[in-house]
């Protein structure tokens, strides 16, 4: 047995023993080791990910953090996975720190974010039919990029060309029919020296003339003191097209003073006896007036 009689030496040894017992693991602790290679390229508006892989010789629990990074970049402190959505092209410096609570390791790198490149445009509608003198705007122009994103493009940002301006002209996305026939409108959009195009097929027809109107229902039963509304008025034209007409744009007449009509609403007076009436509906367009009728039956009271 060794007996230490020097009190000063004994104090030093005791202090060392206590320090070793409580901090020995730190005195012999090794730094973490980052083993993964960073991902140094990214695409604008595309999610960037890099899973930092590190080991610790002492098998200590590791914590991950960023000491230098672009705005909105995050790292999972437990897994080391970095996520970020770059919004602009450029070079961005990043420093990752891995710590075991006592010692740490860092990895610094630069991410180069490439600009999203224009790959195509889509113009809507792809086809259009106009009358001579009629104008309609292109609905939309959508740009598509190599990072799978898309963006709406202002009509004024595009260039336009008609392969037959005697048939159809175009100005800032508004197409106008000049004469009967067909034309192709080419829409072009340029971004970062890349130009993409799409087309609109246009057919110009002579002004359609009103040929008839159809009123529904063709007949209706209405009790005395009640009202019913005409369901629809449809105008038909000589080019084979048809369109719904607002009831308020028509004129109305009745051959029975007890059965009146206003703005498509047919009303039977409360004192009206059993009878029938004819409602005449008229519509005028381009100097042409067409009419149709609705037969109204008023049943006997209580019938």
Q: Any idea where the domains of the chain sit in the sequence?
A: 33-114, 118-205, 210-298
pLDDT at res. 239:
80
pLDDT at res. 205:
86
* Topology of the domain comprising 210-298: Immunoglobulin-like (2.60.40)
Q: What is the 3-state secondary structure (H, E, C) of 109-156?
A: EEEEEECCCEEEEEEECCEEEEECCCEEECCEEEEEECCCCEEEECHH
Dump pLDDT digits (tens) for 268-295. 999 999 999 999 999 999 889 999 999 9
**Alpha helix (H) ranges present in the chain?**
7-27
pLDDT at res. 3:
57
How long a stretch of residues is the chain?
A: 303
Helices (H) and strands (E) in the chain, counts: 1, 29
Task: Flag whether pLDDT at 24 surpasses 50.
Answer: no
* Topology of the domain comprising 118-205: Immunoglobulin-like (2.60.40)
Specify the 3-state DSSP secondary structure of 11: helix
Rounded to 5 degrees, φ, ψ at 239 are: -95, 10
DSSP 58: T
| CATH class, 33-114 region | mainly beta
pLDDT at res. 238:
87
Specify the 3-state DSSP secondary structure of 26: helix
**Cα 130 from Cα 246, distance rounded (Å):** 22
**Cα 29 from Cα 21, distance rounded (Å):** 14
For the segment 245-274, the average pLDDT, to the nearest whole number, is: 96
**Cα 238 from Cα 250, distance rounded (Å):** 20
Among 229, 219, 208, 215, CA closest to 285: 208
Mean pLDDT over each residue of the chain, to the nearest integer: 91
Task: Flag whether pLDDT at 106 surpasses 50.
Answer: yes
pLDDT classification of 19: cutoffs 50, 70, 90: low
- 118-205 and 33-114 share a CATH fold: yes
pLDDT classification of 150: cutoffs 50, 70, 90: very high
Specify the 3-state DSSP secondary structure of 248: helix
pLDDT at res. 16:
55
């Amino acid at each position: 047995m060794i007996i230490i009689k020097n009190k000063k030496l004994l104090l030093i040894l005791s202090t060392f023993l206590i320090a070793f017992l409580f901090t020995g693991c730190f005195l012999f602790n090794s730094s973490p080791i980052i083993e993964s290679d960073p991902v140094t390229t990214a695409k604008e508006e595309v999610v960037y990910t890099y899973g930092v892989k590190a080991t610790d010789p002492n098998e200590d629990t590791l914590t991950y953090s960023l000491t230098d990074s672009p705005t909105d970049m995050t790292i999972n402190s437990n897994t080391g996975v970095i996520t970020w959505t770059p919004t602009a092209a450029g070079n961005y410096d990043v420093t990752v720190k891995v710590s075991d609570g006592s010692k740490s390791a860092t990895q610094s790198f630069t991410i180069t974010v490439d600009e999203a490149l224009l790959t195509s445009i889509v113009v809507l509608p792809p086809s259009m039919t106009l009358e001579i003198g009629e104008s309609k705007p292109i609905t939309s122009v959508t740009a598509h990029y190599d990072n799978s994103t898309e963006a709406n493009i202002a009509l004024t940002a595009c260039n336009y060309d008609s392969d037959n301006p005697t048939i159809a002209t175009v100005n800032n996305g508004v197409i106008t029919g000049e004469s009967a026939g067909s034309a192709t409108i080419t829409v072009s959009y340029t971004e970062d020296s890349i130009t993409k195009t799409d087309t609109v097929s246009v057919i110009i027809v002579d002004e359609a003339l009103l040929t008839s109107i159809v009123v529904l229902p063709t007949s209706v039963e209405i009790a005395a003191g009640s009202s019913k509304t005409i369901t629809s008025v449809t105008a038909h034209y000589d080019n084979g097209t048809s369109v719904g007409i607002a009831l308020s744009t028509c004129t109305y007449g009745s051959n029975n003073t007890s059965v009146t009509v206003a703005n498509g609403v047919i009303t039977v007076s409360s004192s009206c006896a059993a009878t029938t009436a004819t409602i005449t509906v008229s519509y005028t367009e381009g100097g042409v007036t067409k009419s149709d009728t609705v037969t109204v039956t008023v049943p006997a009271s209580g019938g």
